[in-house]
């Protein structure tokens, strides 16, 4: 039997959550006997490089375009249409509404099957436009995400086409040597507790709330002040993000906290930092569709603080698999302070936190493997075709 030819369309070449899904799915599909995968990116970047390293057939649109520029938009649609026709693909699998819109225009009057993976956030203009077009399947990675999608007009007409696909979390082994090196470089003394934040530096990721809460906790508790340090990993991608990142740097400098709050920029081998640090903090100010970094931290047995709303609640249960707070409220900073202090205190008692970390790891290992994800995808591809 010949392999199904599947085209993934991914708008961004940089590595975000949706792009990580594409790369992890590509990793699983690379060993498949059922499908032949090609990934089409609109821009170059780290995600493109990773797909190339995996030996996946990868193509990058050779020019840039914006939807508001009709001429370039039509040029991009025609380019994509020719690429799809020449490739004789059976399925076009689009990540995010932007890609789904382009795929719909490029496959007009074509029998090709269209899949839209609704990674979220949901409800923007592109979502509403994409929701008007025909689709053969819509994937969701959490119940919360589906519920948000169904709030849009006309969404209920496609409920029979909905399917849940759990993200596959990559099994990246930490290097004991690197973990020890990172730990010794970050810690001023061995008993110091390291709080970790990882992700893109942008306003809705809430790093400003985290810094303010961390500084406030340091003022409230002298032990916390003396023995806690905050490590922030991530970079700013857009001009707006860069302006926000500058505010973060200024906030730390104005509070003379450069020795307490460290910015490390983008780091490739994040698993080493999960193991080197004690507590991972996730502070998105809007409900996350899933929370990929939370799942990664759990898999690496790093104690997690995260939101009590959104898709992350599928895996984060307060005091069972981590600790939670309302990261989306107007008083998120105040809500986080006592949780920072509590986890700091409990992190020194392994008998209290080890069961929580173990519960979290088991949930991820049992339900969120790359093999489980790619098996579910490939089975559904066969059903559609």
* 186-212 per-position pLDDT tens digit: 999 999 999 999 999 999 999 999 999
pLDDT at 342 exceeding the cut of 90: yes
Averaged pLDDT for residues 80-92: 98
CA separation (Å) from 182 to 10, 31, 190, 278, 354? Answer: 33, 34, 12, 12, 22
pLDDT at 232 exceeding the cut of 80: yes
> What is the residue-averaged pLDDT of the chain?
95
Q: Is the alpha carbon torsion for 154, 156, 161, 166 positive or negative? A: positive
CA separation (Å) from 149 to 92, 105, 118, 216, 290? Answer: 21, 22, 8, 37, 14
pLDDT at 268 exceeding the cut of 90: no
Q: Which domains does the chain have, with CATH numbers?
A: 4-168+369-384 (3.40.50.2000), 176-367 (3.40.50.2000)
CA separation (Å) from 91 to 57, 94, 116, 314? Answer: 15, 10, 11, 29
pLDDT at 121 exceeding the cut of 90: no
Q: What pTM was estimated for this model as a whole?
A: 0.88
What pLDDT, on a 0 to 100 scale, did the predictor assign at position 310?
92
Q: pLDDT tens for residues 32-83?
A: 999 999 999 999 999 999 999 999 999 999 999 998 899 999 999 999 999 9
What pLDDT, on a 0 to 100 scale, did the predictor assign at position 17?
84
Beta strands across the sheet bearing 279-281: 261-265, 228-233, 193-198, 279-281, 303-307, 323-325
What pLDDT, on a 0 to 100 scale, did the predictor assign at position 1?
64
Q: Which residue has the tokens 């905050």?
A: 230
pLDDT bucket at 318, cuts 50 / 70 / 90: very high
């Amino acid at each position: 039997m010949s392999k199904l030819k599947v085209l993934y369309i991914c708008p961004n070449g940089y590595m975000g959550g949706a792009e990580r899904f594409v790369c992890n799915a590509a990793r699983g599909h690379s060993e498949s006997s059922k499908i032949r995968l090609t990934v089409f990116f609109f821009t170059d970047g780290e995600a493109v490089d990773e797909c190339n390293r995996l030996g996946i057939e990868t193509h990058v649109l050779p020019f840039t375009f914006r939807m508001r520029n009709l001429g370039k938009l039509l040029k991009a649609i025609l380019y994509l249409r020719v690429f799809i026709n020449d490739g004789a693909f059976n399925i076009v699998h689009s990540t995010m509404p932007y890609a789904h819109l382009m795929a719909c225009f490029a496959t007009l009057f074509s029998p090709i099957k269209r899949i839209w993976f609704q990674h979220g956030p949901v409800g923007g203009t592109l979502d509403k436009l994409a929701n008007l077009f025909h689709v053969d399947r819509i994937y969701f990675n959490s119940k919360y995400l589906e519920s948000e999608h169904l709030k849009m007009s006309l969404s209920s007409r496609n409920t029979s086409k909905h399917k849940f696909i759990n993200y596959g979390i990559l099994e990246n082994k930490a290097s004991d040597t690197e973990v020890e090196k990172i730990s010794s470089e970050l810690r001023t003394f061995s008993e110091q507790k390291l709080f970790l934040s990882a992700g893109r530096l942008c306003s809705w990721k809430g790093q400003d709330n985290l810094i303010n809460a961390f500084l406030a906790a340091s003022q409230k508790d002298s032990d916390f002040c003396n023995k806690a340090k905050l490590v922030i990993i991530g970079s700013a991608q857009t001009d707006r993000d860069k302006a926000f990142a500058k505010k973060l740097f200024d906030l730390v400098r104005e509070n003379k906290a450069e020795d307490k709050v460290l910015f490390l920029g983008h780091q490739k081998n994040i698993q080493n930092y999960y193991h080197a640090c004690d507590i991972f903090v996730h502070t998105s100010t809007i409900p996350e569709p899933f929370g990929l970094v939370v799942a990664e931290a759990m898999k690496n047995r790093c104690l997690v603080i995260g939101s009590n709303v959104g898709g992350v609640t599928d895996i984060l249960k307060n005091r069972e698999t981590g600790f939670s707070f309302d990261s989306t409220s107007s008083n998120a900073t105040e809500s986080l302070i006592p949780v920072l202090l509590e986890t700091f205190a409990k992190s020194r008692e392994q008998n209290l936190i080890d069961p929580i970390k173990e519960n979290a790891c088991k949930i991820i290992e049992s339900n969120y493997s790359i093999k489980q994800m790619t098996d579910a995808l490939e089975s559904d591809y066969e059903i559609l075709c």
